[in-house]
Structure 1
Amino acid sequence: MFRVAKLRCEYKQNPIGIDVAEPRISWQLRSDDRDCVQSAYQIQAARDASFEAVLWDSGQRNSGQSIHVGLDGLLPEARTRYYYRVRAWNQAGKGSDWTEPAFFETGLLDSSQWQAEWIRAPRARFPQNSEICPQLRTFVDVKSPVASVTIYVTALGLYELQLNGQRVSGHYFTPGWTSYGKRLQYQTYDATSLIKEGSNALGAWLGNGWYKGHLGWKNQMEMYGTTTALLLELHIRYENGSEERIVSGKNWEAAESAIRMSDLYMGETYDARLERDWTNPSEAGWHQVEVIEHSKAIIVAQENVPVTQVTLLKPLAILTTPQGDRILDVGQNMVGWLRFTLNGQSGQTVELQHAEVLDAGGNFYRDNVRAAKQLIRYTLKGGEPETYEPHFTFQGFRYAKLTDFPDTIRAEDFTGVVLHSDMEPTGSFNCSDPLINQLHHNILWGQKGNFLDVPTDCPQRDERLGWTGDAQMFVRTASYLMNTAPFFTKWLRDLKADQTTEGGIPFYVPNLQESFSIGWGETSHSSSAWGDAAVICPWTIYEMYGDNRLLAEQYESMKKWVSYIHGEGDNPYLWNTGFHFGDWLALDSKPDSYVGATDRDYIATAFYAYAVSLTLKAAVALDQTGDAEYYRDLHGKIVNEFRSEFVTPSGRLSVPTQTAQLLALRFGLLEGEAKARSIQKLVELLAEAGDHLTTGFVGTPYLNPVLSEIGQNELAYKLLFQQDYPSWLYQVTKGATTIWEHWDGIKEDGSFWSADMNSFNHYAYGAIGEWLYSYVGGIKPDESQPGFRVVHVKPYPGPGLDWADTQLETMYGPVASCWKRIESNGLEISVTIPANAEGMVLLPGAKLDRILESGVPLKQAEGIRGIELVLDGVKVVVGSGSYAFSYQWG
């Protein structure tokens, strides 16, 4: 069996509304045979699924490329659906059948194509300070059978689209959060199934969202604008071939809605008695909208995957606290909202307030969410049972305090609705230790809670910003867990848009108003390790997904960031100026300080060198030969200056912290005696701390990977398995279901670290997930053959685990690395490599004559391309397929 599977266009299955000049197609191969390689492919495109009239044909192309294949020469037209199919040939010349048709549909392609006008509710009835969410509507008269109905829509603020009283899509928080002054997304929806002949009511709720509501921790609003507004076009294609375009304009009308207040931080107030009938044209209270001027040139098509209701959770119980509060326990720190059903009298109002934890006495605790009320207030219409869920807010919580609910309410009357960007799950990790499995669960749920359209630092308090430092620390872990390529494509375009003229990078993306200061230093941009998201994130996405186009898009931004650093201060090869967060929240900090003991100039220069090294790699990948020579020279000068400044004549680092050693070792800044002394110092520092970490945001992501790389793998495992403070498992033993901001967010005595900055869903320290996948499991990409075209499988078994099972869905297909200890000091390693890819498998501690593959000597096994004895075992080069290696250690 040889076939083509999993067709995708721009990472998505049958996307509509894409605005790319040259759409890219990816597919996977399936084969029962080992060592399957694609030798050729053919793609056809047509405007009909039957392919009776082929519009574009690649012909049989002799190529092994199966990801990001551009349809060169096809010139897509706006608002057009294109069907495509693929077939391929293997290395023996055997061809597959054509795939079933897939499709992509273009959007408007050009912002000048918009004919609609921006409309808002009339200011006379909705003054600027009004908290009420308006409803906007019009009526569409359909007089003959339709072939298709497509809606193109965006908003200032958030919108929820309705057609004939039904929600048009399962997408939430649209149009998403972008750098609104420079980029504003629109969405495309197929509404054919919702339209009917005759009169159709088309409308939208508008919410403040990120655009106009509270944002940041200074109780500020209107960061981007002072009014919500809608821009919409509905395109009808009739069966008779004619077309009609319905656009937002002065013929629309607006009214107050039952949503009396909705805010991302504060929650939502809803009065069901005030619900309106979208479909009743004679209903009172509707008034003509106002047309406003706002740029359409900044509008771009949806880039990220949408936020959806991904998971539904059934609560565990309703508790009564010692203080007498009724508390609903969902059982998981989650992000989204509660859907509930109740019956009561008209005018009765109930409230839900949300929190992450209970205090040591078992009482409801919400001090750590600061000014974010996270309050849902619902007033009943009365009569029949009523079901409600919010529209334009989300909460970070495990517990909800129920106020004025009926005594008869039950846990089963509530559902936890988990919302996040609908990224495809790609990674799984399981092992013999349940606490480590819970840690992995916590890392995954930290990503779920914080990847809601942008990579936020935390999802519950009055902050929820796209901090660049957190994003770059976690991007590789995130990309093991889920397909993050579309997610980071959108976010990196905002980063590039918000980059300063000089090349500086904001602390958070999208950036806020320039008047919004964080309160530390004189600038709101360009801290080392934070601004380095500009180089770390695009390079990581390139490695993980082979996305050359995104790397090329971001390349100038990468160069500008390096140029910004290069121009700071008097010495172009050291970075010793500006504001830096340093090793944020490290445990070796001074009392009453958030900044760790590692010298900030040291961190800045180390990351300067790292940024240049990644920009050099990008230049090589993009065939920018001249740039590559420049960055190679620059990198050498920075490393030399680093050594001159921070390495003593005797070869010792002048900064004696765990993080200092980690950065120097991870970034390749030392060699010879200095490297050996740094390794020795790191081990000594860990021993002085009782084999515990003292690192913060900057050092922690590199701790275990560095230890495994320098021959201290057992020490890395020892750190992983520590259960007392500070450690990853300390949080697990305290009942955590996500990753905490502080190692001791809850102290041993049950008290809290602080109230001002103590998130219990803060993914940065979850970067240990990268080590679980790439060292314990051993799965890594190859930077010269990115996207896992070449898969490195080099597991690092260690004390405390009997087995580990690591799975990863790559662009080429599923990769697996499973190892387990067997009796008589033996090891069994099972590996799966997808078709059209190659595996570089390192069998640790193996001797060549003792290795069996599926019961036969290694040299007799099918699919083996090469065998090499290396320092730490045997390296086996394999083609695609599943392999089972077994041998005795040593």
Structure 2
Amino acid sequence: MVQVVKVRCEYLKNPLGIDVLHPRISWQIEAEERGIQQQAYQLQVSLEPEFGHILWDSGRNASSQSVHVVLDQIELQARTRYFYRVKVWAIGQHLEGSDWSETAYFETGLMDYSQWTAEWISAPSDFAVTEEEAERCPLLRTFVTVEKTVKSARIYATALGMYELQWNGKRIGDHYFTPGWTSYGKRLQYQVYDVTDQLGVGTHAIGALLGNGWYKGELGWKQEKETYGSRAALLFQLHIRYEDGTEDVVVSGNDWQAAGSAILMSEMYHGERYDARLELNWHSEQSADSNVWQPVETITHSKSIITQQVNEPVRPAETLKPIAVIQTPEGDTVLDFGQNMVGWVKFEVEGAAGHVVELQHAEVLDQAGNFYMDNIRKAKQLIQYMLKGDGTETFEPHFTFQGFRYVKLTGFKAPIKLEAFSGIVLHSDMERTGFFECSDAKVNQLHHNIVWGQKGNFVDVPTDCPQRDERLGWTGDAQMFIRTSSYVMNVAPFFTKWLLDLKADQTPEGGIPFYIPNLKPEFSEGWGDTSHSSAAWGDAAVICPWTLYEAYGDTRLLEAQYESMNLWIQYIYNQGSEPYLWNTGFHFGDWLGLDSKPNSYIGATDKDFVATAYYAYSVSLVAKAAKALGKQEDLERLAVWHERIITAFQHEFLTPAGRLSVPTQTAQVLALRFGLVSGAAKEKAEEKLVQLLKEENDHLTTGFVGTPYLNPVLSEAGHNELAYRLLLQEDYPSWLYQITKGATTIWEHWDGIKEDGSFWSADMNSFNHYAYGAIGEWLYSYVAGIQPDEEQPGFKHVKISPQPGSGLTWAEAKLTTMYGTVVSSWRCEEAGRMEIRVTVPGNARATVKLPGAKAVVDVLENGISLLQAAGIIAIHDEAEGLKVELGSGDYHFAYPL
């Protein structure tokens, strides 16, 4: 029986606030039968969940497309819910039609900024009368009276700063850190809330807490404030539809009131200070504290920059309980949560009114076992709570987050009860798609650390680290990790939003800031010739869209970013007198390479070499994008451009003997990965890389630029065993060295904690820094062997080529793609027998290479001859082994090695 499952609109399940004129629908097909391929689909759209009146019907459309099907035949209306369903006809051994899928829906938002009739409102300018009150978060409120039965009610809201909506004293929704961090001068997202169930007949109190957030709070290590603006403000619209067909709109305006909340200070880096004695009975107009309320001020600010939220919101994802209470040698009481996490601590406490308790957050303990804050730099990560003295009190912060494993407690009564504390893990609510496991427990812990590094650093933007006074959307880190991240989670909406900000912050000449969203220009001063556009960092403008296209088949995103991609390579072309070399400007080079000079963060690989290599790579990817988008003239122009860069690169960096003139591991890796050498020069680069690794006793010296590509290059060059040795090394420098030191996330430095327990440094030593987690790509795409096909992107055609190696006896990866779950697992038994298990989702196909299989007659599939197995499309006997083309289904291959 064929079934249509997991129906989605713009990647999301039943989204509210879709402002796309022509949204896209995707679905997956499940069936027990092998070789299922969709032949046709029917898609219906209705304004009613029962489909009594069909708004649009595709009819039986002869097409195999089941991903990103565009609804281009409907003129969508604002603030309208559309129900849709899908059925398909698929062929396996016979043609079969499915039942209708479960009914799904999407709901449009305001669609156009002109629909905002509300006014921006802020606390009055004389709201703060003392220095302490200057940091106090305001609470805004209004009242609405409902006299008729409500059919539906929606809130549309955004803010300058952060906001938290409340309804009759209870929080609305589970979105945190709204409206998110965007390029606030150009893009500001809004959110939609369904409050139909809360809106009964009677009077209701609507409240909104405002926080500084990224908008006006402290950002970066220079302690800059008010980066984007100086006043927090709210924009709010409540649209009510009644059963009798009438409507009301409640908007933010000068009839709202403002008062100081109990939040005395809230900063992203520094934490929150809260005085529970100042809590207001704000949802009652007749409360004793009614005299503290003042009229709000309306302010002027653009509404034309407001846009829909395209990414998943930040939500509480899970809860961790502390595993121990530690008394440090210095006498501190410290909770150990057992995992370096990002979020905050929710806690219960009892005591007298005015008593203060504090929670300070850190990642590690020092060599002596004491609470360690030096690597957090100027960020305080401190929660202060003043009790109201009313029995058991529960608190969790509002507009801040911390990166931590350890929490120092001050003011709590002994004995400490672990059950009174909970670690609330917060991150963008991305669907988990990738799972990897193998026979080595330390490698499994490495994968765990990669996942938790992604959780902690994907908090609305892809930050470099989540704990110190930085937490910026560094472009280099993002592009280095994006392919791994796309295996671990569905990051398409997350990066779609971030790339819109990258495009918005791109300079008119095409330059790319070091981090997105960008800060004030003066914040980046002092880097060198420019305050933007470093090679391997700015190349995120090209690498990220292309990677998303390969992973999700998202042509619309590629089209949206295509102009930005071209602007970037044009910027490089125009940067100096050598249009096909990149030898000007500031570059981070092979950041944190271990072959750097003393007191330098930049590795030994020549920066012009790195820059030109990435220049060639980006031009090659823009050429691929042009081909994917059918831009033939661009493709021809870019192909010539790319060849000229390669020629210039070889003239500059290749000796007459055919060797690269830069003798570093990273140099060989980049030249090989980006296809800059061929023939004898390629062979020499491969030999040189192996030699350089051997000189380091099979250890790496690569930094941020070289490390992501090191193991893939070795496996592609036929040195898979060497790649495995690098993976499985346990002494410094290696991935597993961190595991031996108790790491639960990826470190910024290979030796963040040295052998003797001392630290690499105090000023730049994050223990949650995902760049080196890019090894995850190799685990999925080489160890397990799951790779996309750029000719049929989104895993419509799956390439499965596992590469077993010494040190592991089995490995398995599962990846949920747009078409369904792909599985690749292998097990090498002691008797010299290999087992390969593969799952190919419906409406997809796969090409599977069977490692070590030499003869068709030796291979059994589910116990029968490979030649007789169902679902096999073709078998190719090649020099490196058998290659089998498969339709969808579950397969089990077994054969002698």
Q: Which residue identity is paired with 2:273?
A: T
* Distance in structure 2 (CA, Å) of the matches to 1:127 and 1:271: 18
* Distance in structure 1 (CA, Å) of the matches to 2:236 and 2:344: 28
Partner SS, residue 747 of structure 2:
coil
Alignment of 1:232-251 (within 5 A): 232-251=236-255
- 1:556 — aligned with what? 563
Deviation at 1:520, TM superposition (A): 1.8
Normalising by structure 1, report the TM-score: 0.99
* Distance in structure 2 (CA, Å) of the matches to 1:872 and 1:568: 45
- 1:278 — aligned with what? 282
Alignment of 1:440-455 (within 5 A): 440-455=447-462
Pair 1:871-2:871 in alignment = no
- 1:34 — aligned with what? 34
Q: Is the 8 A contact 1:714 1:799 kept in 2?
A: yes
* Distance in structure 2 (CA, Å) of the matches to 1:383 and 1:141: 32
Pair 1:102-2:104 in alignment = yes
Q: Is the 8 A contact 2:5 2:102 kept in 1?
A: no
* Distance in structure 2 (CA, Å) of the matches to 1:537 and 1:128: 47
Partner SS, residue 126 of structure 1:
coil
Q: Which residue identity is paired with 1:851?
A: V
* Distance in structure 1 (CA, Å) of the matches to 2:616 and 2:896: 42
- 2:149 — aligned with what? 145
Of stretches 851-860 and 206-215 in structure 1, the one that deviates more from structure 2 is: 851-860
Partner SS, residue 774 of structure 1:
helix
- 1:260 — aligned with what? 264
Deviations 1:293-346 (A, max 9, x none): 000000001111000000100110111000000001011000000000011111
Q: Which residue identity is paired with 1:599?
A: D
Distance 1:128 1:457, change over 3 A: farther
- 2:737 — aligned with what? 730
Pair 1:188-2:192 in alignment = yes
Partner of residue 755 from structure 1, selected from 756, 762, 774: 762
Deviations 1:742-801 (A, max 9, x none): 000000111101111000000000000000000001000100100000001000000000
Q: Is the 8 A contact 1:455 1:471 kept in 2?
A: yes
- 2:864 — aligned with what? 856
* Distance in structure 1 (CA, Å) of the matches to 2:758 and 2:304: 52
Q: Is the 8 A contact 1:26 1:68 kept in 2?
A: yes
* Distance in structure 1 (CA, Å) of the matches to 2:754 and 2:103: 57
Deviation at 1:523, TM superposition (A): 2.0
Q: Is the 8 A contact 1:616 1:632 kept in 2?
A: yes
Alignment of 1:578-593 (within 5 A): 578-593=585-600
Deviations 1:181-203 (A, max 9, x none): 00000000101122221110001
Unaligned 5+ segments in structure 1 are none
Partner SS, residue 365 of structure 1:
coil
* Distance in structure 2 (CA, Å) of the matches to 1:196 and 1:124: 36
Q: Which residue identity is paired with 2:227?
A: M
Q: Is the 8 A contact 1:139 1:200 kept in 2?
A: yes
- 2:48 — aligned with what? 48
* Distance in structure 2 (CA, Å) of the matches to 1:828 and 1:715: 23
Deviations 1:574-600 (A, max 9, x none): 000000000000000000000000000
- 1:67 — aligned with what? 67
Q: Which residue identity is paired with 2:895?
A: Y
- 1:159 — aligned with what? 163
* Distance in structure 1 (CA, Å) of the matches to 2:62 and 2:174: 41
Partner SS, residue 516 of structure 1:
helix
* Distance in structure 1 (CA, Å) of the matches to 2:530 and 2:271: 31
- 1:888 — aligned with what? 896
Q: Is the 8 A contact 1:342 1:409 kept in 2?
A: no
Pair 1:84-2:84 in alignment = yes
Pair 1:230-2:234 in alignment = yes
Q: Is the 8 A contact 1:480 1:808 kept in 2?
A: yes
Q: Which residue identity is paired with 1:675?
A: K
Report sequence identity in percent.
65
- 1:10 — aligned with what? 10
Deviation at 1:3, TM superposition (A): 1.0
Pair 1:213-2:220 in alignment = no
Q: Which residue identity is paired with 1:235?
A: H
Pair 1:502-2:509 in alignment = yes
- 2:640 — aligned with what? 633
Partner SS, residue 751 of structure 2:
coil
Deviation at 1:518, TM superposition (A): 5.2
* Distance in structure 2 (CA, Å) of the matches to 1:494 and 1:428: 30
Q: Which residue identity is paired with 1:463?
A: E
Partner of residue 134 from structure 1, selected from 131, 138, 141: 138
Q: Is the 8 A contact 2:543 2:618 kept in 1?
A: yes
Alignment of 1:605-624 (within 5 A): 605-624=612-631
Deviation at 1:277, TM superposition (A): 1.5
Partner of residue 366 from structure 1, selected from 354, 370, 373: 373
Deviation at 1:849, TM superposition (A): 2.1
Moved over 2 A (4+): 126-129
Deviation at 1:522, TM superposition (A): 3.6
Q: Is the 8 A contact 1:164 1:194 kept in 2?
A: no
Q: Is the 8 A contact 1:439 1:729 kept in 2?
A: yes
Q: Is the 8 A contact 1:263 1:393 kept in 2?
A: yes
Q: Is the 8 A contact 1:128 1:226 kept in 2?
A: no
Q: Is the 8 A contact 1:128 1:227 kept in 2?
A: no
- 2:339 — aligned with what? 332
Q: Is the 8 A contact 1:518 1:524 kept in 2?
A: yes
Pair 1:745-2:752 in alignment = yes
Of stretches 818-827 and 503-512 in structure 1, the one that deviates more from structure 2 is: 818-827
Deviation at 1:289, TM superposition (A): 0.1
Q: Which residue identity is paired with 1:862?
A: A
Q: Is the 8 A contact 1:344 1:380 kept in 2?
A: yes
Deviations 1:824-846 (A, max 9, x none): 21110000000000010001121
Alignment of 1:158-557 (within 5 A): 158-282=162-286, 283-517=290-524, 519-557=526-564
Q: Is the 8 A contact 1:815 1:834 kept in 2?
A: yes
- 1:676 — aligned with what? 683
Q: Is the 8 A contact 1:21 1:75 kept in 2?
A: yes
Q: Which residue identity is paired with 1:21?
A: L
Unaligned 5+ segments in structure 2 are none
* Distance in structure 2 (CA, Å) of the matches to 1:189 and 1:872: 56
Deviations 1:220-253 (A, max 9, x none): 1000000000000000011111110000000000
Deviation at 1:524, TM superposition (A): 1.7
* Distance in structure 2 (CA, Å) of the matches to 1:13 and 1:589: 48
Of stretches 530-539 and 866-875 in structure 1, the one that deviates more from structure 2 is: 866-875
* Distance in structure 2 (CA, Å) of the matches to 1:871 and 1:144: 77
- 2:802 — aligned with what? 795
Distance 1:521 1:431, change over 3 A: same
* Distance in structure 2 (CA, Å) of the matches to 1:331 and 1:559: 46
* Distance in structure 1 (CA, Å) of the matches to 2:758 and 2:829: 44
* Distance in structure 1 (CA, Å) of the matches to 2:74 and 2:315: 32
Alignment of 1:796-875 (within 5 A): 796-847=803-854, 848-875=856-883
* Distance in structure 2 (CA, Å) of the matches to 1:404 and 1:275: 21
- 1:114 — aligned with what? 116
* Distance in structure 2 (CA, Å) of the matches to 1:633 and 1:533: 22
* Distance in structure 2 (CA, Å) of the matches to 1:57 and 1:87: 11
Partner SS, residue 765 of structure 1:
helix
Partner SS, residue 579 of structure 2:
coil
* Distance in structure 2 (CA, Å) of the matches to 1:169 and 1:383: 27
* Distance in structure 1 (CA, Å) of the matches to 2:593 and 2:585: 20
